[in-house]
A and B are shown apart, each in its own frame.
Chain A
């Protein structure tokens, strides 16, 4: 079994999303910020009349924010709840990777980031981190969960 991944870069790391989940990739769009929204929600964009929530993956992974002049790209993902846009640094190629190259994320990756990665594909010239799109969309870590801890 091999899968096709649409790849993108985030703070130097190569990430991938299954091609089938990707609706399209578009350049930076003007956004309307949403006050009081979870930190990773960067704003709302108008995608041909459809309103799409943009989630900054850098914020999601707890990475430093982009330089002000570095405009993110939008990777539009299809989800059950409609389209969602992931803001990424730059877009890479589409890779064909085999399941034999897959390993689960090492335990040493810090907590939250590990939850967002489904697995690591070992490529010839580096690692491809497979993004768990569903978890990445889930922007609110809630008190409810913390109380249960």
Chain B
């Protein structure tokens, strides 16, 4: 039994079901031989069994069903009439089939029953158009050689109730030992399997989801009681729910082999079309996945397999030349790993040519040469996931139309998976897909920030790091204002959840990270200045002190949020600082000409301030700790800083309503044990929002969609640029033709205007910082990033200071602007950003630009 292959047991299940139906049909048919449809259905059933048995090399089964099929086909075509003899013969055949099936189930073999007589009689009944009554006895006799009496008696009975015949005939036909009691064993496959409507399973899954929620609520509630009886019951409920959940989940699981089954054919056909030789191998066919996931990876996998054969594997001739076997190998491998399923598609073909991809990307306008030059091979290889990219030199009917790989990536990411491509030139390509086992109920880590709870899907979770006290402060280092943490020697960028979500909250915010040493040093500096001023040696005072508001302490105090301000130590420090700086400024303003006791006074003020710094330090160091949730998104690691790490829990994912669909940082919501709603973080969205993961693959300008008209637009793609020191502006991507970089030395002048030579034309340049002077002074970047705007065949280059990002956000203009060239302000990526009106801007600088177009 256990060693039966899946195909055979499926065949058995299906055949048993069909045979039961067949018995009923044949009997019904005999009563009303004109039922053409029943006859056709019987014919189909037998035909299917014959076909499959031939395929599975069950020759006896095949020959028996073959003659039966012949008879049936003539009956169906109306060439023969169904007589009781023929019915019995057919029923006998059904029993013979059943006997053979029982043997197969028992031993995997057809058994040594002899069916020649049955075949003969069926053949006779088929050929004998007149249906001689004489042909009838053999039909019965053949079957019941030893117990013909018995059978004749039971014949009518058998006709009435087909199942009653199953036992004797199986015994007779089987002859071999195991077959004798096969009737009792029969159906151990079919009885233990039923077909269930998928809709029912989905409903069950939903109900289990609700049960899990209710269980979580009860668990939470029970933790507050001492009633042991109740606690024990809760524990049992907990266990049973978990088992039930696993069980129901299993019912929806399907082996990935179901999807793979069609690939050998796909590969064979494709290989012969491309005149290649490809062998396909599969590992881990039994790896199981949720049905919904299986369905959504079907198309992406097919794409990948086709691509591998068409683009990856070389022609036999080429392979021989490069010293490989003539036959290429395509390996599909699937395995479970850490609650996820990994699927690898490996070919030993020519691999991807990074240089060729680079060239293509540049020629297609997906990248500029400079951009491409800065990319690593690995990044270049992953460019094939860009929309509109194909390296095939010619478009075949198989692939090469430039759709495919981007669809693959989008589809996989839609179900929370990731795709990674690795390629060694000349050796082959490995595409690795990681997907979650199921989508409906996921394990998640619950964290708290700013008083709100959030769920982080555990698939993205790598580890948790907690920094206590002084460590919390010292552990964080800063690169250009970006906090990082050294995790076992590697720099881990930190993202503060409360900042990303614009929540308040003490402890984890950047504001609480005060550099105490710097604060003390500055304090000492100011005290020294006061002393020197009093002594009349103003010139000896430390010169490069920042003004009070710009000191480390001053900046920190002004950046404190409400929660920090509410702390008594912060209040005391603030008043101490204010008093000290006021005293110092009095002294310096008076040019040191103050009474002598002022020195004592200012020194004591400085002492109070220093004391308060110490008090704050010890408060923060004991009270504050930093909880870092180390996450992985798109293969990048980053640390999400949260206030508190609560627990892990199984959560039921519920989608967000359309009002909130645009929030890419949330994957959905769930109901927690206490009945309240918590949001589920979308880790990839969070990483993109915070800039941990660049959006290189979205940075394709070819993809810039024409602007959708009307209110149904729910998202805008905006190019974020930096102007001046801190200025951020957004340009609708639809107004952007290209992004370029020009070196300062290529700028030439015509009259007052700056121009560059660009693609054989003269491109006038417009400096945003000079058109919008209020946006802040520009610093000279070299090369200068330039946003090219085109209308008809005229172009203008907008010179900006930085290209920051491309975001897709639903942007609400919060403040309209009276300034020409600026539509208004909006909050984008958590920062107030001016949204530019490019046309207005150009008009402002060069009113003739659009007239020239019109002319």
Contacts and interface: CB of A to CB of B under 8 A. Distances in A.
Interface of A: 30-39, 41, 43-46, 49-53, 55, 81-82, 84, 137-148
A43 B662 CA distance: 15
A140 B732 CA distance: 17
Contacts of B210: 49
Contact of B501 (A35, A50, A139, A141): A35
A33 B657 CA distance: 14
Given A32-B677, A35-B502, A51-B671, A143 B823 contact: yes
Given A35-B503, A46-B676, A142 B812 contact: yes
A36 B677 contact: no
A146 B714 contact: no
Nearest to A44: B677
Nearest to A140: B810
Contact of A139 (B659, B675, B677, B830): B659
Contacts of B654: 50-51
Nearest to A30: B676
Which 8 pairs from chain A and chain B are nearest by CB?
A144-B713, A35-B501, A143-B811, A32-B677, A53-B657, A44-B677, A81-B658, A139-B659
Given A51-B677, A146-B823, A146-B824, A37 B663 contact: yes
Given A37-B659, A41-B659, A143 B835 contact: yes
Contacts of A51: 654, 656-657, 669-671, 677
Interface stretch (B278-286, B366-374, B702-710): B702-710
Interface residues of B, number: 46
Contact of B676 (A32, A35, A38, A137): A32
Interface string B636-678: 0000000000000000001011111011011001110001111
Contacts of A33: 452
B713 A142 contact: yes
B157 to A, nearest CB: 56
B397 to A, nearest CB: 38
Interface in B670-724: 670-671, 675-679, 707-711, 713-716, 718
8 contacts: A36-B665, A41-B659, A45-B677, A81-B657, A140-B810, A143-B718, A145-B713, A146-B816
Interface in B186-240: 210, 213
B671 A49 contact: yes
Given A39-B812, A51-B654, A138-B711, 17 more contacts: A32-B669, A34-B660, A34-B663, A35-B501, A35-B502, A38-B810, A41-B660, A46-B671, A53-B657, A84-B657, A141-B813, A142-B813, A143-B813, A144-B716, A147-B732, A147-B837, A148-B707
Contacts of B380: none
A32 B810 contact: no
A143 B812 contact: yes
Given A37-B663, A146-B823, A147-B732, A32 B711 contact: no
Given A35-B503, A49-B210, A55 B675 contact: no
B789 to A, nearest CB: 14
A89 B452 CA distance: 26
Contacts of B714: 140, 142
Contacts of B709: 148
B412 interface: no
B334 interface: no
A38 B502 contact: no
Given A36-B663, A146-B813, A82 B657 contact: yes
B501 A36 contact: yes
A50 B503 CA distance: 26
A49 B452 contact: no
A39 B658 CA distance: 15
Contact of B810 (A45, A49, A50, A142): A142
A11 B812 CA distance: 25
A140 B669 contact: no
B826 interface: yes
A139 to B, nearest CB: 5
B501, B677, B678, B718, most chain A CB atoms within 10 A: B677
A39 B813 CA distance: 12
